[in-house]
């Protein structure tokens, strides 16, 4: 549903306060007064504008009918995620594969399809740190992520910025790099209302206090640039809430990260992660804020046969508890977990419909396309 003009105006006022903070108080007040008195005009499609010193500032309105238009800036509330009207929301979408290998799968055509044909709410931008990723060329990968954020923004989708650390499994190994990367991304996109920061993809081989220490050192760095965006924190044992290393969610419940507006991540692969994982997820969802930033219908490597029955059981639980989820992955990798058939990205599609989708792609596209129950200003819903 298209927001009312007062809603658009409030967005514009917030933008002006941010963008003109460096001006004198009297000039800024005059700008705000003139804007408030001007007649309302139809909102343009959201585009990215460049502010001083390379900072990216989002335009005032997302495309009509889009997830961001309906919900605005998100915030953690209780154990869930809420929109700007403090109504619980559940996001559903797809993760890219590593940008160093599959950047061609993140094209204008593929993202048009994800937003309009798949009707996805969220794009997870997966930037590997090692394996030929960020550490090899920080400038290139920072710009790739920033461009992908802009593309998601133009389409009215939320964007999860995924610091995809895997090996080494201790997030402290990359802490200095993370400080540099998130400082720039948060500064460039501080005006965006569609972001979430995932600061540690899958910690492994380290204790929960060690992961907590990393988060409590990095979060203030981000908050100095962007005080509003929700931050997602990877959990122990490949973001399994510790289950893959014989622990569970109780260590997080007893010793949570000392920060506001945060969530904890959980990853599962339906053909490998059976009842102990499902039970931990179900229990934890009633105690701490969770976001499933990665899952597959295959085994833990994203390979092998699809177990759609087990995946459906998980997603039904997530729907009941209104937990957001993102599927791995929106690429044409040869593994069964990549949704497109090999060669699709090199040929730049076709992206819409199901002709180029593997079985997992057809299944997850259907699940994403089921209607959302988003509400704008307390009335209506997204078509």
Cis bond upstream, residue 329 (ω within 30): yes
Neighbours of 203 (CB within 10 A): 27
**Is residue 360 within 8 Å of 333, Cβ to Cβ?**
no
Q: Considering the candidates 184, 198, 249, 294, report the single residue annotated as catalytic.
A: 294
- Backbone dihedral angles phi then psi of residue 333, each to the nearest 5 degrees: -55, 155
Q: Please tell me the distance from the alpha carbon of residue 353 to that of residue 113, in angstroms, as a whole number.
A: 9
Residues 6 or more apart whose CB falls under 8 angstroms from that of 227 comprise none
Q: What is the sign of the dihedral through the CA atoms of 359, 360, 361 and 363?
A: positive
Residue 141's region, left for phi above 0, alpha for psi from -120 to 50, else beta, is: alpha
Residue among 151, 193, 202, 249 flagged as catalytic: 202
How far is it, in rounded angstroms, from Cα 105 to Cα 328? Answer: 13
202: annotated active-site residue: yes
Q: Are 196 and 160 in contact (CB under 8 A)?
A: yes
Q: Beta partners for 80? A: 77
Q: Widest CA span of the chain, in angstroms?
A: 65
CA distance 334 to 353: 20
Which H or E element spans position 323? none
Question: Which token pair is 87?
Answer: 């109504």
Q: Which residues contact 310 (CB under 8 A, 6 or more apart)?
A: 270, 271, 274, 297
Handedness of CA 55, 60, 63, 68 (dihedral sign): positive
Q: What is the pairing mode between strands 195-198 and 231-233? A: parallel
Cis peptide before 366 (omega within 30 of 0): no
373 burial type by CB count under 10 A (0-12 exposed, 13-18 middle, 19+ buried): exposed
Q: Please give the structure tokens belonging to residue 56.
A: 């990216």
What are the residue numbers of the active site?
202, 294
């Amino acid at each position: 549903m298209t927001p009312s003009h007062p809603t658009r105006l409030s967005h514009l006022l917030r933008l002006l306060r941010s963008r003109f903070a460096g001006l004198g108080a009297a000039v800024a007040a005059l700008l705000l007064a003139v804007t408030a008195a001007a007649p309302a005009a139809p909102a343009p499609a959201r585009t990215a504008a460049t502010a001083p010193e390379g900072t990216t500032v989002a335009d005032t309105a997302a495309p009509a009918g889009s997830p961001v238009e309906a919900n605005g800036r998100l915030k953690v509330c209780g154990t869930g995620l809420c929109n700007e009207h403090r109504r619980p929301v559940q996001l559903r979408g797809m993760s890219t594969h590593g940008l160093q290998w599959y950047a061609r799968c993140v094209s204008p055509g593929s993202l048009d399809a994800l937003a309009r044909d798949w009707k996805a709410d969220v794009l997870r931008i997966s930037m590997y740190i090692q394996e030929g990723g960020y550490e090899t060329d920080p400038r290139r990968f920072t710009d790739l992520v920033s461009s992908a954020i802009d593309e998601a923004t133009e389409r009215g989708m939320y964007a999860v910025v995924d610091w995809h650390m895997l090996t080494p499994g201790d997030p402290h190994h990359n802490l200095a790099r993370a400080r540099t990367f998130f400082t720039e991304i948060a500064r460039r996109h501080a005006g965006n209302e569609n972001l979430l920061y995932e600061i540690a993809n899958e910690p492994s081989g380290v204790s929960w206090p060690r992961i907590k220490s990393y988060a409590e050192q990095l979060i203030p760095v981000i908050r100095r640039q962007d005080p509003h965006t929700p931050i997602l924190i990877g959990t122990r044992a490949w973001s399994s809430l510790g289950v893959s290393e014989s622990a569970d969610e109780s260590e997080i419940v007893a010793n949570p990260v000392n920060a506001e507006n945060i969530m904890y991540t959980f990853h599962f692969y339906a053909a490998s992660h059976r009842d102990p994982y499902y039970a931990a997820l179900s229990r934890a969802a009633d105690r701490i804020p969770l976001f499933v930033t990665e899952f597959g219908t295959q085994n833990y490597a994203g390979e092998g046969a699809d177990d759609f029955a087990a995946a459906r059981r998980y997603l039904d639980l997530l729907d009941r508890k209104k937990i957001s989820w993102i599927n791995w992955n929106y690429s044409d990798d040869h593994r069964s977990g990549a949704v497109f058939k090999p060669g699709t990205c090199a040929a730049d599609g076709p992206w819409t419909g199901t002709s180029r989708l593997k079985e997992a792609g057809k299944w997850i596209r259907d699940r994403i396309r089921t209607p959302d129950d988003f509400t704008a200003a307390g009335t209506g819903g997204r078509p």
